[in-house]
Each structure stands twice: as structure tokens, then as C-alpha cells.
Amino acid sequence: MKKNKKKVIIANIKMNGSLHFNEAYLAKIKENFNNFKNLNICLCVPYPYLFQAKKILNNTKISWGSQNVAKFENGPHTGEVSAAMIKEFGSKYVIVGHSERSTAYCESDENIADKFKKIKKYNMTPVLCVGETLIEREAGIMERVVSSQIEVIIKTYGAQVFENSIIAYEPIWAIGSDTAATPDQANKMCNFIMDFISKKHKCDLKNFNIIYGGSVNRKNAVQLFASESLDGVLIGRASINFDEFNQICFAAENN
């Protein structure tokens, strides 16, 4: 990873936790993670726990946020949660376009683009997930798939919209499996994404990070953190196991 730049560690807690579990878990994170100097750590929790995250993590260097957002401002959208509401709870980051949502809830790329813009409107940092399926990788079209996911946002809002944002390369085949992308695969795709935005779309971004997600664990973290083009990681399962999460952060801090 780039030297002299803080690494981004986003925890995707997914639909896990409870008031009881979080109380102890967040307190432990607060106690142990606040001393990391080279990391920007954020826990993306289920909506009902934003208040609890704010209460426990307030006045620490650890941020919190959500895993989705409505594309609408407000109004008759039963079950949705707006960017303004998420912001009210002090959220800093919002995951958008995660494949578990686009597959299960038929999220279109256009919806994702609108959500991305809403997150920015409320001065939060979008963590846009992009990635290919195994079939697409085997067919060798992974770069085409990933660039088309990014292109939808650029077409609507211009490449400059990626200033102050994060793209998470999350190959769908690596999520929730035991097979993370190799550091070389992750590195190549992150380089490709950077070139796609900075060269193809001629956009020079000052505060923009590209991270990798998909089966990150304490074993593969060290190698991933050695990759030049990665600015951090998005961690799913391993983020609700304190020892595992702690070791990943430790590897990031010391690499």
C-alpha cells in the first residue's frame, strides 16, 4: 500500500449483532483500536445500531456508518432510510452497491448512481462496491464489467464525483467464500480502476481510495497490504471476530 497514506479499513458488519453483543464489542474496539495511528477505521452497522455506535464511538478516531441508503430524499418509501437520517447519527461512510443487495434486491446500476450522489450530498463518504462474477472472470471480461459499473456513475454525474469517495473492488466470487482474490488479481484490478478514472476520464482526484474486499482475513491481510495499488480493505465476516479483526488492523498498521 502507498506509504505515508492512512489505510482505509471498512468493516461490513452485515446483518449481525444485537444491542447486547454490540455493547461489549464496540467497547472493546474503542479500547483497542483507538491507538492505531495509520488507519481510518469505520464500522458499517445495521441501521438500528447507528445510535449505539454513535454513543459508544463518539470522540474516538473510529467512525461508523451504514450498509445502504435510500435514493430518495424523503416521503412515501416504506422501509427505506434516507441519507439525511443516516447523517443525523453521525455516520461518516455508507456502503453502496454491495452485491448482496444488487443480487437479492434487484438493485440497478442507475439506482446505485442515485444513492451514491445522495451520500455525497450529505457529506458522507460513499464506499461503492464493484466486482465481477466467477463466470465473468473466467470469460476474461472482468475489467469490462467493473468499468461499466463505474461508467454509469460517471455518465450521470461526471468522474469528479469520485472526489472524497472510495471504490471497493469486491469480486463476487470472493465474498463469503474461502477464496480471496490473490494480491496480484486485486492489484491489477485496482490499478485498472485508477487508470480508468484518471487516464480514460482524465480526472485527477486528490482524496480517493481504492480498497479490496472479499474473504479478507488475518492470513491474507499481510500480503494484501503489501500491494502498491490498494489503499485498504473491506472486511465482512472477519470484522465480527475481535481477534481476527484486530490482527488485520495490526497488519495494516505495521505494513
The catalytic residue among 80, 98, 100, 132 is 98
CA dist list (Å): 221 to 6, 71, 180, 182: 16, 34, 10, 11
Contact in structure between 13 and 45 (CB atoms under 8 Å): yes
* Cβ 114 to ligand PGA shortest distance, Å: 21
| Shortest distance (Å) from residue 53 CB to ligand PGA | 18
- How deeply is 123 buried, as exposed, middle or buried, from its count of CB atoms within 10 A (0-12, 13-18, 19+)? exposed
Whole-Å CA distances, 98 to 10, 69, 75, 169, 243: 13, 11, 24, 10, 25
Q: Which of 143, 170, 201, 244 is catalytic?
A: 170
The count of chain residues that interact with ligand PGA, using the rule CB under 6 A, is: 13
Nearest distance from C-beta of residue 73 to ligand PGA, angstroms: 27
Judge whether 77 counts as a catalytic residue: no
The secondary element (H helix, E strand) that includes residue 10 is strand 7-12
Nearer to ligand PGA, 26 or 44 (CB): 44
Cβ closest to ligand PGA, residue 130 vs residue 159: 130
| Coil, strand or helix at 61 | coil
Query: By C-beta, is 136 or 244 nearer to ligand PGA?
Result: 244
Find, among 214, 215, 216, 227, the residue nearest to 255 by Cα: 227
- Select 33 or 159, whichever has its Cβ closest to ligand PGA: 33
- The correct pick among 29, 150, 189, 234 for binding ligand PGA (CB under 6 A) is 234
The packing angle between helices 218-225 and 242-253, to 10°, is 20
Question: Which of positions 155-184 make contact with ligand PGA (CB under 6 A)?
Answer: 170, 175-176
Q: Is 98 a catalytic residue?
A: yes
Q: Applying CB under 6 A, which residues contact ligand PGA?
A: 12, 170, 175-176, 213-216, 234-238
